[in-house]
């Protein structure tokens, strides 16, 4: 990891950085242990083990979301929702400025980045809740099994569809997030990925 520039200042606290990278790992594990990839892994590994990886990756993401929600209200300045959640008109105006290369630099999340964070958190929440519901209805396991166990085939199919749509929606959001990071890094001439490792940015 690059050494910190003495002229840089601390922006991203350790919990925000840890949350970010653990979330990346958790989502990758969950995605790679389900769907078509899951079917291929079943041929090479124990199918039950792969299913457990998927389920526990989902539980880990749920725990991370709960922690981030709390931290968004009690954490330091740049971690708080109040610092980066803006009205839609502000977000639209910022996106317009970005497209015309006139967007001003923000030390924390810019308005578009803040909107993306909210969408990612909501998308993950829907993905996790639909996954837990599907686990209860289809397998009779998990915290919702008491309400959804022995669900009808139509219920299971519906929950599968919701879970799949939510997951695909997350892939689109992640692609948008990565594109935004690259664009902003070029526009403002700073390595935003590096700053999420070091927690530091130039003033």
How much is the pTM? Answer: 0.88
pLDDT value for 47: 63
- Domains of the chain: total: 1
Question: 201: part of which helix (H) or strand (E)?
Answer: strand 200-201
Whether residue 1 lies inside any domain: the answer is: no
What's the rounded Cα separation, in Å, for the pair 186 and 55? Answer: 38
Residue 4 lies in a domain: no
Which CATH number characterizes residue 58's domain?
Answer: 1.20.950.20
Kindly state whether residue 20 falls inside one of the protein's structural domains: yes
Q: 47: domain range? A: 10-201
- pLDDT recorded at residue 5: 60
State the Cα–Cα distance between residues 15 and 49, nearest whole angstrom. Answer: 30
pLDDT score at 151: 74
Does residue 3 lie in a domain region? Answer: no
User: Is 2 among the domain residues?
Assistant: no
27 inside domain: yes
Instruction: Give pLDDT tens digits for 14-45.
Output: 999 999 999 999 999 999 887 666 566 666 66
Note the pLDDT of residue 28: 94
Residues of the chain with pLDDT under 70: 1-6, 35-47
Which residue spans within 49-110 are E strands per DSSP?
none
Q: What is the pLDDT of residue 1?
A: 46
Asked if 2 contacts 190 with a C-beta cutoff of 8 angstroms, the reply is no
């Amino acid at each position: 990891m690059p050494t910190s520039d003495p002229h840089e200042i601390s922006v991203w606290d350790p919990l925000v950085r840890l949350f970010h990278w653990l979330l990346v790992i958790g989502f990758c594990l969950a995605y790679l242990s389900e769907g078509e990839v899951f079917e291929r892994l079943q041929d090479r590994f124990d199918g039950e083990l792969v299913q457990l990886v998927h389920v526990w990756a989902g539980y880990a993401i749920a725990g991370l979301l709960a922690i981030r929600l709390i931290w968004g209200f009690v954490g330091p300045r740049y971690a708080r929702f109040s610092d980066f959640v803006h009205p839609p008109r502000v977000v639209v105006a910022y996106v317009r400025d970005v497209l015309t290369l006139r967007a001003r630099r923000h030390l924390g999340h810019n308005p578009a980045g803040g909107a993306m964070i909210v969408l990612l958190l909501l998308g993950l929440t829907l993905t996790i809740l639909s996954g837990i519901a599907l686990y209860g209805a289809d397998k009779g396991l998990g915290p919702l099994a008491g309400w959804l166990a022995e669900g009808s085939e139509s219920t299971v199919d519906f929950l599968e569809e919701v879970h799949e749509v939510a997951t695909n929606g997350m892939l689109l959001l992640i692609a948008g997030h990565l594109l935004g990071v690259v664009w902003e890094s070029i526009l403002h001439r700073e390595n935003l990925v590096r700053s999420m490792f070091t927690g530091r940015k130039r003033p």
